[in-house]
Structure 1
Amino acid sequence: MKKLSIEGLSKSFENAPVLQDVTFSVNEAEFVSILGPSGSGKSTLFHLIGGLYQPDSGSIYLDSKNVTGKRGKISYMPQSPSLFPWRTILENVLVGGEIVGQENEQEASEMIAAAGLEGYAQAYPHQLSGGMKQRASFIRSLLSPQSLICLDEPFSALDEFTRLEMQKWLLSIWEEHKRSILFVTHNIEEALFLSDRIIVLSNRPAKVKRTFHVPFDRPRKENITLTNEFLEWKKEIYNELRDML
C-alpha cells in the first residue's frame, strides 16, 4: 500500500527549474532514502511535501488524499534538532501530540528511556550532547500523529562514531514502530545501511535518475558494511552519482 505518492512534481524559482517531473512513491512501513548531487533540490522536495512551497505542476498524495500545498501533514526532522530551548526534553517530544490534543506522557517517557535518555526527561536541550538531542528530535517525530516522517540529513553534523551509533539506534526504533520514512542523505553507505530503496536524483533540474532496491535482510548489523556485496552496491551507486559530476 502506498503511503506517499509524488506525481509529476516540478518547481522553479525565478525561472530557474529545480525539480522537473519528479515521480516516485513510498510504501506503508517502508524506509526510502534520496541521494543526489549538492543543490539537486532534495530540500526543496521536502518543502513541497510539507506544504511550505506550492509546486508549479504535479501532485502529492498522502494516504491517497491530495495534500499538495497543505501544511501539517507530515512529521519533519531537519538537520539540526530544532528543540525548543525553554522546554524540557519531555515537553519537547510531546509537542506534536500537544498541538492536536493527543499527547501521551507515559508513552513519551517510555520512549525517552528506551532511547538511552532515561534521567534526562526533565533536562533542557543545552544539557544534552548532539547525539542525545537528535534522539529526542526523532522521538518527537515518532510521537507526532502524522503517518509519514521526513528526515533531512539528521546525522550530517555528527562525528563518524556517533553517526554510526545513531544509525543503529534509528534502525532499532524504526523496526519496532515501522513508520514510513523518507530520508535525505549525501552518504551512500548510510543510505544502503538504512534503506529498503534508494532514489537517485539527477542534477538540476532534478529528475529521478535511478531507483535501487536494497537486497539486505533485516534486522541489519553494522558488519554488513564490510561485506563484498555491500561494497559492490556502494560502488554501483557511487558510479551513478559520479556520472553527474
Structure 2
Amino acid sequence: MAVLTIEDVSKKFAETEIIKHLNLQVNEGEFVSILGPSGSGKSTLFSLIGGILTPDSGAIMLQGEKINSKTGSISYMPQSPSLLPWRTVLQNVLLSQELRGPKDEKKAEEMIEKAGLGAYIHAYPDELSGGMKQRVSFIRALLSPQPLILLDEPFSALDELTRLDMQKWLLSIWEENRRTVLFITHNLEEALFLSDRIIILSSKPAEVVADYKIPFKRPRAEELFLENEFLEWKREIYHKIKEVME
C-alpha cells in the first residue's frame, strides 16, 4: 500500500525551476533513499512533503489524503539533532507525542534503553556526544504517530566510525518497527546499506531518472560492504549519478 504518492509535482523560485513534473511513490514499511547532485532539489522536496512549501502544481498524497501545504502530517529528522537544551533525553523523546498524542512514556523509556542510553535518560543534550544526540532525535521521530519519517542526511556531521555505528543501530531499530522512511543522503554506500529502494534525481530541475530496487536480504551486517554484489551495485549507481551530473 502506498503511504506517500507524489504526482506531477513542480516548484520554482522566481524564474528558477527546482522540481519539474516529479513522480514518486513510497510504500508502507519501505526504506527509500534519495540520491542526486548537490542543489538538485532534495531538501526542497522534503519541504514540500512537510508542508513548509507549496507546490506550484501537482499533488502530494499521504495515505490517499492530499497534504499540499499541510504541516504536521509527517515526522522529520533534520541534519542536526534539534534537541531542546532545557529538556532531558526522555522529555525530548516524548516531545512529538506531546504535540500529537497520546503519550507513551513506558515505550519511550524502552526505546531509550535499547539505544544504549538508559544511563542518560534524565541527562540534558549538552551531556551527550554527537552520535548519542542523533539516537535521541531518531527515537523521537520513530515514536511520532505520523505514518512517514523523513530523514535529511542525519549522519552527515558524524565521523566515519560513528556514522557506521549509527547506520547499524538505525537498521537494528528500524527492523523491529518497519516504519516507512524517506531518506536523503549523499553517501552512496550508506544508501545501499540501508535501503529497499534508491531514487536518483536529475540536476535542476529535479525529476526521477532512476528507481533501483536493492536486492540485499535483511537483516544486513557490515560485511555486506565487502561483497562483490555490493561493489557492483555501487559502480552502477555511481555511473548513473555521474551521468546525471554531466
TM-score by length of 1: 0.99
Counterpart in 1 of 2:84? 84
One-letter amino acid matched to 1:204? K
Q: Residue 111 of structure 2: SS of its match in structure 1?
A: helix
Distance in 2, Cα, partners of 1:211 & 1:29: 17
One-letter amino acid matched to 1:120? Y
Distance in 1, Cα, partners of 2:116 & 2:134: 12
| Structure 1 segment 23-172 matched on structure 2, within 5 A | 23-172=23-172
Distance in 1, Cα, partners of 2:15 & 2:243: 26
Most deviating of 2-11 and 95-104: 95-104
Distance in 2, Cα, partners of 1:70 & 1:42: 19
Q: Residue 243 of structure 1: SS of its match in structure 2?
A: helix
Q: How many percent identity over aligned positions?
A: 62
Pairing 1:189–2:189 present: yes
Q: Residue 229 of structure 1: SS of its match in structure 2?
A: helix
| CA deviation profile, 1:157-185 (whole Å, cap 9, x unmatched) | 00000000000000011110010000000
Distance in 1, Cα, partners of 2:87 & 2:24: 37
Most deviating of 199-208 and 94-103: 94-103
Distance in 2, Cα, partners of 1:213 & 1:231: 15
| CA deviation profile, 1:108-136 (whole Å, cap 9, x unmatched) | 01100000101111000010000000000
Distance in 1, Cα, partners of 2:244 & 2:27: 28
Q: Which runs of 5+ in 1 are unaligned?
A: none
| CA deviation profile, 1:6-65 (whole Å, cap 9, x unmatched) | 111100001100000110100000000000000000000000000000000010111111
One-letter amino acid matched to 1:39? G
| CA deviation profile, 1:76-120 (whole Å, cap 9, x unmatched) | 000000000110010000001101231111110110000010111
In the TM superposition, residue 68 of structure 1 has moved relative to its aligned partner by 1.1
One-letter amino acid matched to 2:57? S
Q: Which runs of 5+ in 2 are unaligned?
A: none
Distance in 2, Cα, partners of 1:4 & 1:241: 24
Distance in 1, Cα, partners of 2:63 & 2:244: 34
Indicate the RMSD between aligned Cα atoms, in angstroms. 0.6
Q: How many residues align?
A: 245
Q: Residue 150 of structure 1: SS of its match in structure 2?
A: strand
Counterpart in 1 of 2:10? 10
One-letter amino acid matched to 1:162? T
Distance in 1, Cα, partners of 2:208 & 2:162: 31
In the TM superposition, residue 243 of structure 1 has moved relative to its aligned partner by 1.2
Distance in 2, Cα, partners of 1:239 & 1:218: 26
One-letter amino acid matched to 1:89? V
One-letter amino acid matched to 1:13? F
Distance in 2, Cα, partners of 1:119 & 1:150: 28
Distance in 1, Cα, partners of 2:64 & 2:222: 36
Counterpart in 1 of 2:202? 202
One-letter amino acid matched to 1:137? S
One-letter amino acid matched to 2:191? A
Distance in 1, Cα, partners of 2:244 & 2:45: 19
